[in-house]
Amino acid sequence: AKSRGRNQFGYFMPSMQRAAQNKMRTVNDLRAALARNQLRVLYQPIVELSSGRIRKAEALLRWEHPQRGAVSPAEFIPLAEESGLIVAIGDWVFQQAFHQAMRWRASIDPQFQISVNMSPAQFRRQWSATGPPPLPHKRSHPLLGRYSGSEIVLEITEGMLMESTHSIREQLLAFRESGIQMSLDDFGTGYSSLSYLKKFHIDYLKIDQSFVLKMVAGSDDLALCEAIVVMGHKLGIKVIAEGVETQEQRELLTGAGCDFGQGYLFARPLTAPQFDRLLRRRDRG
Ligand code: C2E
Ligand code: CA
Ligand code: CA
Ligand code: CA
């Protein structure tokens, strides 16, 4: 009866209402996908530019929809955030990444780290139901109960630092105190007040790929990257360049003293077994 109703009235339905329905359907599908284990985490290598070695990875979520095929995170993450589903999904990604980091720490490199993208709602949840927060405590967050090492780096955006409420900022600081490292994603695209870099003791800056993709010798984009590296290093922050696609970009970034590179030049996001194969191939030379 439900689908007949949709057919009958679909023609008259204002397009905004139809868009809202599509959204709702996508959110329901996403919820089912999480329950049925149809989401996947891919890992994109992060390479130390001075040595060419893979030192880290970024966890990137993928959704293979049974009818629609691959749905881009750019499409479904905003819906997951709007619906609150991102909290459960984010926990799942965090756990996958944590276990993978433990495996790679055992097999490849005891310092190996995986960075995980965080949404604001993942920091907000503790206190949303109970009103104003008490003083944050190390163990107040579900993720912190189990994970307190440096296996995981949280990727947050400038917006989360600038626009977030007091309670989110307090929660971020509580994460920091527990030893979890933080990376500032998409750096240069927002409205960062540079004082936040110091205040939150950021460990890594990720230069946004929009600066890297068009970078050539003598370009303004290169000058910006160089300036970010100098500033980062003066503050004790390591710098990661995203979207490295060409050998020229790699050389310019290495010349600028950038610490790490991530991008299609090195590898696309990979499944864990693909990642293992790549590492073994590299080890053999
Ligand atoms: P992001 O965090 O900025 O991730 C980097 C994006 O750049 C990824 O897109 C990656 O596949 C892509 N990329 C990597 N190297 C290159 C390159 O050399 N050239 C180009 N053109 N692109 C490159 P992806 O995987 O489609 O993810 C899109 C966005 O979705 C991410 O942007 C992130 O904001 C969000 N996202 C992905 N996974 C998660 C997650 O688990 N949780 C949350 N909250 N957000 C996620
Ligand atoms: Ca990211
Ligand atoms: Ca980014
Ligand atoms: Ca982004």
Question: pLDDT (tens digit, 9 = 90+) per residue, 146-174?
Answer: 565 789 999 998 888 776 677 777 778 77
Residue 80, pLDDT above cutoff 70: yes
As a whole number, the mean pLDDT across the chain is 85
List pocket residues of ligand 1, CB cut-off 6 Å.
Answer: 44, 60-61, 72-74, 77, 90, 93, 117, 119, 185-186, 209, 242-245, 262-264, 269
pLDDT category, 6, cuts 50, 70, 90?
low
Residue 196, pLDDT above cutoff 90: no
pLDDT above 90 covers a percentage of the chain that reads 59
Residue 9, pLDDT above cutoff 60: no
Q: Which of 62, 77, 182, 275 to mutate to test the pocket of ligand 1 (most atoms within 8 A of CB)?
A: 77
pLDDT digits (tens, 9 = 90+) for 216-244: 999 999 999 999 999 999 999 999 999 99
CA of 12 to the centre of ligand 2 (A): 41
* Ligand in closest contact with the CA of 155: 2
Q: Which of 242, 270, 275 to mutate to test the pocket of ligand 1 (most atoms within 8 A of CB)?
A: 242
pLDDT of residue 131: 38
* Ligand in closest contact with the CA of 212: 1
Residue 133, pLDDT above cutoff 60: no
pLDDT digits (tens, 9 = 90+) for 259-268: 999 999 999 9
Residue 81, pLDDT above cutoff 80: yes
Mean pLDDT, rounded, for 193-207? 86
Q: Whose CA is nearest to atom 21 of ligand 1?
A: 243
Residue 22, pLDDT above cutoff 70: yes
pLDDT of residue 11: 59
Q: Whose CA is nearest to atom 20 of ligand 1?
A: 243
Residue 144, pLDDT above cutoff 70: no
Mean pLDDT, rounded, for 128-150? 51
Considering only 57-61, 71-75, 179-183, 205-209, which range has the smallest mean pLDDT?
Answer: 179-183
DSSP secondary structure letters along the chain:
-HHHHHHHHHTTS-HHHHHHHHHHHHHHHHHHHHHTT-EEEEEEEEEETTT--EEEEEEEEEEEETTTEEEPHHHHHHHHHHHSTHHHHHHHHHHHHHHHHHHHHHHT-TT-EEEEE--THHHHHHHHTTSS--S--GGGSHHHHH--SSSEEEEEEHHHHHT--HHHHHHHHHHHHTT-EEEEEEETSS---THHHHHTT--EEEE-HHHHHT--TT-HHHHHHHHHHHHHHHTT-EEEE----SHHHHHHHHHTT--EE-STTT---B-HHHHHHHHHHHHH-
Residue 115, pLDDT above cutoff 90: yes
pLDDT of residue 8: 55
- Highest mean pLDDT (candidates 15-19, 21-25, 175-179): 21-25
Residue 48, pLDDT above cutoff 70: yes
Residue 137, pLDDT above cutoff 60: no
pTM strictly above 0.80:
yes
Q: Which of 60, 93, 154 to mutate to test the pocket of ligand 1 (most atoms within 8 A of CB)?
A: 60
